[in-house]
A = this chain, B = another copy of it.
């Protein structure tokens, strides 16, 4: 039997991890990023890197894996924002 609390936590983690995927698809298709906050994605990426380090230090595979996925998605958005700024 799966603990009900941990099931809620797991679905929550899946949502907040993969939420960035539709934004990645949107910027990939449109190449439009001017409404996106560079500061937001920079701070988010720093936070995700720190979560990854935290996960390594406390040996939590869930934290490590979740933050690799979110890190890749957020980094992809950052690349598109930078390309958009340089293309201006």
* Bound complex: CA A75 to CA B55 (Å): 28
Copies in the complex: 2
A39: chain B residues within 8 A (beta carbon): 22-23
Contact call A19/B35, Cβ cutoff below 8 A: no
* Interchain CB contact under 8 A, A20 and B35: no
A16 partner, pick from B11, B25, B26, B47, beta carbons under 8 A: B47
Cβ-defined partner of A51 (8 Å) among B16, B34, B43, B50: B16
Per-residue B-contact encoding for A1-31, CB less than 8 Å = 1, 0 else: 0001100110111111011111101110010
Set B15, B36, B48: member contacting A46, Cβ < 8 A: B15
Q: Which residue of B lies closest to A21 (CB)?
A: B40
